[in-house]
Structure 1
């Protein structure tokens, strides 16, 4: 006989508890009994039940049912998805109606019929699991909606460098191999990850991106693996993690080189065992995801300096794809730039300008330290500011910045100086936020605020 469901029975009559346990233990995977209702909060926090069978009266000589209604409310405060079935020896119809209004799922009279009791409890298990599944689907829908609200450009280009990348993408997409994408900031690592997903057998399921560089260690487990209500101060409800939300689909872990060593160990364990355990829960959730990771960091250097686990690298890079920087993609600069010009001309209701040949030379010869992200920003700014049908060199502000040489040689405000210092540090550390924060001796969140304040490309 297959045991299914987790049941908690609360009744002050120990002989009733013994009888129920003897009968029901063969039908449920977990069966706990309790004679003192004050133990309910601790038991529910400890274990994830499907159904609570709750007596209506606990004090001698009292049969109003008010105690049962009180504990019904307390149970549902702890977990609103729980199925609570009330148990009483008094067949009061009004009491039953009040209990249903308060959130009870059903009402069973003593003495009970074994077959009817078992059927009611098993139905309760199915109802609870349906509620949990609906909640998970709702949270998955929210993740998916956030993803759909983001706008991403197509992969554009005709250079040999990008053609080689796309050829590799087509070969690996049909497999479930783990992929590691390497490249400077702004080279389009997430676009490549999405293209792999769209060409894979998982394309009908969710693609979920996670920026690990923006997650503190405190948030890492909750965001990736989920938590149960009450597991920490701000855990006001159960929440699935990104891995559960991406089940059957693809999860993209960006900036994996920024993970601390303790978090790397936890991620490695998840990838090895293919299960996650939400914070505060003892229940493991199996996961089936396609893993794609990305970083702009030099992973081998991180390994040699004991900042990245070599065994984790083996887990995430069955296939490695290296994205070329924009400066190595020949005339793709013009192809992508004209794509952005058209996009922004439509957005701002302007006539599409052409680019003067001298301006084209300027664009192609520029080093593009911010890559495609910087090119996009440049084209948007040109469309906004120009009133001409021909974009000249002066319309593109691309002077190479040697601010680390000229810094302090001319008057500047404190804010201007701060911006230059941050920009130079970002270049030196190839956009690695953790390294920049360490070098400048500021917190990572403070650094993010300043980058946003000064509109620094990184």
Structure 2
């Protein structure tokens, strides 16, 4: 027995009884009405999977217009319900008209029971599939909302930041490729998310990819996906980031970390707006808004032959440069106050405030780690605070932030972070130069920084 609910509407009560007897062992809920005017008073009409509707109710009338009228009324109230039309007067043009109006099928009276049951089952399965599609669409919509949720905000009102946001507003409504540059910690992903939030794609997904954390061997699989059996661990088909971002925004962070070989593969996908999964020959079209970000000087890298000039042109239709925190003036205090309230609430110290001398210290510091460094500095001050007022001594800046209270690193992680901070500070944030000084690769340095920031 199927779980379905069937509603039968016919002015012939003998026919209603016959159908009810026939269907009672096939479907769990059967309801009959003899007057179509009762349709409008049925509160749970949308809960019915199949409606069987007579086409003629008035004596001597066989045009089918009454049935078509009630078909339209039912479809207005519950578009996904499958409606089967019934009539004793068969006409091909009438059947075609009913189907055009949204009927699922057409039955002639008298009928053969096997044919009738097959028609109802087909209509029931149609309704079931429509319901499943609707539920999947709702789940997809909810999932996109969850994916696009971002608890961070763009905070500040300095002229430098306002100019950036004005450019974002102009560019967001278009689909042009955007390159966002700026020092580490300036908020490049926040700007990318703002571009997405203000675009026509805002109801679709925003997919971010940290290019610095993807090894060269996994590049194609991560971005373009793979087919089952393409390599040892490919136990099933898997979509890559390009497919996942279809109709939405794809954000490629740290794009300056790519090798020349992977740059060529990325360029092909961007140019053609198509990808091919690893282990497959099938070309898959993708519709994405591409936003890239880097803290590298790509023009210098082009001159040095380590970044493709044609790729730079592709990703750089619009260039947005995010100013470092030291150029944003009083935004430093606005951000410090924001993080103070956030962490004071988190750690149960709601009455904390920053005194004037501490504010002057924050304003006078250069913030090589930018907003990210300010966030960690304020959080540390809140955790270690003993009174209600944060003083200059509560804010450990620069290399002091990696040193314990006895002025010496106590763990390997602290020592490693101290060495990395000093190397980056010495080379003005240049990852390649810092990595060379430390005797490690740029990607290893990048991975260590990510690990230490967690």
TM superposition score normalised by structure 2: 0.64
* CA pair 375-245 structure 1, distance change in 2 beyond 3 A: same
Q: Does 1:284 align with 2:253?
A: no
SS in 2 for 1:253: strand
Q: Which residue in 2 is equivalent to 1:395?
A: 394
* CA pair 345-322 structure 1, distance change in 2 beyond 3 A: same
Unaligned runs of 5+ in 1: 1-129, 404-409
Any conservation in 2 of the 1:140–1:246 contact (CA below 8 Å)? no
Which range moved further: 257-266 or 382-391? Answer: 382-391
Q: Please report how far the alpha carbon of residue 168 of structure 1 lies from its aligned counterpart in structure 2 after TM superposition.
A: 0.3
SS in 2 for 1:240: coil
Alpha-carbon distance in structure 1 between the residues aligned to 2:240 and 2:256: 21
Any conservation in 1 of the 2:186–2:372 contact (CA below 8 Å)? yes
Alpha-carbon distance in structure 2 between the residues aligned to 1:266 and 1:429: 31
Q: Please report how far the alpha carbon of residue 277 of structure 1 lies from its aligned counterpart in structure 2 after TM superposition.
A: 0.2
Q: Please report how far the alpha carbon of residue 394 of structure 1 lies from its aligned counterpart in structure 2 after TM superposition.
A: 1.1
Q: Does 1:442 align with 2:440?
A: yes
Q: Please report how far the alpha carbon of residue 245 of structure 1 lies from its aligned counterpart in structure 2 after TM superposition.
A: 0.2
Any conservation in 1 of the 2:212–2:446 contact (CA below 8 Å)? no
Alpha-carbon distance in structure 2 between the residues aligned to 1:144 and 1:329: 33
Could you report, residue by residue, the CA deviation over 1:52-80 in whole angstroms, capped at 9, with x for unpaired residues? Answer: xxxxxxxxxxxxxxxxxxxxxxxxxxxxx
Greater gyration radius: 2
Q: Which residue in 1 is equivalent to 2:351?
A: 352
Alpha-carbon distance in structure 2 between the residues aligned to 1:348 and 1:401: 23
Any conservation in 1 of the 2:399–2:422 contact (CA below 8 Å)? no
SS in 2 for 1:239: coil
Any conservation in 2 of the 1:152–1:191 contact (CA below 8 Å)? no
SS in 1 for 2:256: helix
SS in 1 for 2:424: helix
* CA pair 180-360 structure 1, distance change in 2 beyond 3 A: same
Q: Please report how far the alpha carbon of residue 422 of structure 1 lies from its aligned counterpart in structure 2 after TM superposition.
A: 2.1
Q: Please report how far the alpha carbon of residue 445 of structure 1 lies from its aligned counterpart in structure 2 after TM superposition.
A: 6.5
* CA pair 418-381 structure 1, distance change in 2 beyond 3 A: closer
Q: Please report how far the alpha carbon of residue 137 of structure 1 lies from its aligned counterpart in structure 2 after TM superposition.
A: 9.0
Q: Which residue in 2 is equivalent to 1:23?
A: none
Mapping of 1:41-440 within 5 angstroms? 147=147, 151-398=150-397, 415=412, 418-428=416-426, 431=429, 433=431, 436-440=434-438
Any conservation in 2 of the 1:184–1:430 contact (CA below 8 Å)? no
Any conservation in 2 of the 1:202–1:250 contact (CA below 8 Å)? yes
Any conservation in 2 of the 1:186–1:371 contact (CA below 8 Å)? yes
Any conservation in 1 of the 2:368–2:429 contact (CA below 8 Å)? no
* CA pair 414-386 structure 1, distance change in 2 beyond 3 A: closer
* CA pair 173-262 structure 1, distance change in 2 beyond 3 A: same
Could you report, residue by residue, the CA deviation over 1:262-307 in whole angstroms, capped at 9, with x for unpaired residues? Answer: 0000000001111000000111110000000000001111011101
TM superposition score normalised by structure 1: 0.63
Alpha-carbon distance in structure 2 between the residues aligned to 1:158 and 1:245: 35
Could you report, residue by residue, the CA deviation over 1:319-372 in whole angstroms, capped at 9, with x for unpaired residues? Answer: 000000000000000001111111112222221311100010001111111100
* CA pair 422-179 structure 1, distance change in 2 beyond 3 A: same
* CA pair 440-288 structure 1, distance change in 2 beyond 3 A: same
